[in-house]
Amino acid sequence: MHPCDHVGLDFIDTASHRFSNSVDLAITPAQLFEVLADATSWPRWASVITHVEWTTPEPRGVGTMRTVTMRGGLLGAEEFIAWEEHSLLAFRFNEASEKRIKAFAERYDVVATADGCRLTWTLALEVTGAARYTLAPSKALLNLGFRRFLKNLRRYTDEQYA
């Protein structure tokens, strides 16, 4: 594993490579947090993820850690940098198996709505080496995939909470 920059919440708003998408869900913010805390749910809606393992005991909050395994053999050792029950989650990579990942963080903003909740998911990253030149032209395709993950999340939560 290679160390990543230990970024804070501000990185998510200032990184040169950012992706932000929203989805309306027909579940409460509390139910969404149940889904996000369930390690087995992530591979069911974020198809790039193959396994999630919480590596610190409950209760979960700021400082909680987990390891995420993704397709292509990418591993990320994550640390939660924000945890406001039912409204905000954010984590960063402390380490990654891919040395071109300089910094990586995600934020999940949740707002209650009349019909459930709205999730805004923001992913931010900085890369090094040749990845700096290949990421920019592929941003639209990557964002399409991220939007698909949120559609999958809507489908998953509709099935789980029907």
Q: Could you tell me if 56 and 65 are in contact, meaning their C-beta atoms sit under 8 angstroms apart?
A: yes
Distance CA 142, CA 154 (A): 19
The confidence score (pLDDT) of residue 129 equals: 78
Q: Cβ distance 126 to 33 under 8 Å?
A: no
Which pLDDT value is given to residue 40?
A: 97
Whichever domain contains 76, its CATH number is: 3.30.530.20
- Number of separate helices (H) and strands (E) present in the chain: 5, 8
Q: What is the pLDDT of residue 93?
A: 98
- Write out the two tokens for 30: 């509390």
Query: How much is the pTM?
Result: 0.94
Q: What is the DSSP string of 41-80?
A: THHHHSTTEEEEEE-SPSSP-TT-EEEEEEGGG-EEEEEE
Give the count of domains, the chain.
Answer: 1
Residue 10: predicted pLDDT: 98
So what's the pLDDT on residue 48?
A: 95
Walk along the chain (162 residues) and give the pLDDT tens digit of each residue: 999 999 999 999 999 899 999 999 999 999 999 999 999 999 999 999 999 999 999 999 999 999 999 999 999 999 999 999 999 999 999 999 999 999 999 999 999 999 999 999 999 999 987 666 666 667 788 889 999 999 999 999 999 998
Q: pLDDT at position 27, please?
A: 98
Q: Alpha-carbon dihedral of residues 50, 116, 11, 139, nearest 10 degrees? A: 60
Token digits of residue 74: 């990418």
Range of 97's domain? 2-160
